[in-house]
Amino acid sequence: MLHKITSFLSFLFKSRNKHSVHSPFVFNLITKCFHKKAPIANLKIFLNYKKELSLNTSILKVTDFGAGSRVFSSNKRKVSKIAKHAGISNKRARLLINLIQYFKPENILEIGTSLGLSTAALASSNKKSKITTLEGCKETASIAKNMFEKYHFNNVTLLTGSFDTTLPKIFKNTIYDFIYFDGNHTRIATLEYFESSLSSINNNSVLLFDDIHWNKEMELAWEDIKNHPQVTVTIDTYQWGFVFFRKEQQKEHFIIRL
């Protein structure tokens, strides 16, 4: 808890708003995407999906491959509780929808499906995007798979299994325009996933890391990613970290309040 408080206070002290941004690329991203209202029709799909999960009282035996949970003390968890405490917030879903509509990625990869809340935001944003989502826990993946079928997310492919097994396969033959990392909140795993992704990106690819200030390990991982020679621009919004590889940009790091 102390870490969360101190890291957030540090973020508030260092962060700036759009008026202090001199990069046209980042300024446009903030004004035309971050601060834009999400389309109601797309957001409604996500909200209906989330509402349905919030009414699901089924109990799952969750297999957690990451750094664990701050909320749950047991691996037996109600679907409704997972959706409430571990799912993406409405605010973040709005931003995710805007991001997909702004960048219009053809191929999207999500590392960490859980119940599919973030996937629902991704899938409803652009039906032309092809989404591959990975989940380690079979029970949460089963719920997500059923929900994807019910909501006719035909542009989503769900792969279940250890990321150590699934990631090498999906990075072999596909270039991803947008990758959302939300699968393991440890420094080693985060950096391994990041390094693995570098063989499957292009100049305009966007990497989005969730919970970059979740613990000290994630903050160290974020610093390592920022300093990577292929990375040119990063944006720290506290919960999310954005990474860009645009060779036409000078290396620059931004800390932005949403």
pLDDT digits (tens, 9 = 90+) for 137-168: 999 999 999 999 999 999 999 999 999 899 99
Which pLDDT score, from 0 to 100, does residue 56 have? 96
Which pLDDT score, from 0 to 100, does residue 104 have? 97
118: amino acid identity, one letter: S
Which pLDDT score, from 0 to 100, does residue 68 have? 47
Which DSSP state fits 199? Answer: G
Query: What's the average model confidence in pLDDT over 162-183?
Result: 92
SS3 of 32-69: the string is: HHHCCCCCHHHHHHHHHHHHHHHCCCCEEECCCCCCCC
Quickly state the pLDDT bin for 64 (edges 50, 70, 90).
confident
Q: How far is CA 114 from CA 133, 138, 199, in A?
A: 10, 9, 25
For 12-49, the pLDDT digits (tens) are: 988 988 878 889 999 999 999 999 988 899 999 999 99
Within 8 A by CB and 6+ apart from 23, the residues are: 233, 249, 252, 254
Task: Tell me the C-alpha distance between 36 and 29, whole Å.
Answer: 10
246 Rama class: left (phi>0) / alpha (psi -120 to 50) / beta: beta
Query: What's the average model confidence in pLDDT over 211-240?
Result: 96
Which pLDDT score, from 0 to 100, does residue 72 have? 53
> End-to-end distance of the chain based on CA atoms, in angstroms?
22
Query: What's the average model confidence in pLDDT over 181-210?
Result: 94
For 244-258, the pLDDT digits (tens) are: 999 999 999 999 998
% of the chain residues with pLDDT over 90: 78
Give the DSSP H/E element, type plus range, for residue 165.
Answer: helix 163-170
> Mean pLDDT of all residues in the chain?
92
- Whose CA is closest to 91, among 61, 121, 112? 121
- Whose CA is closest to 190, among 204, 174, 207, 171? 207
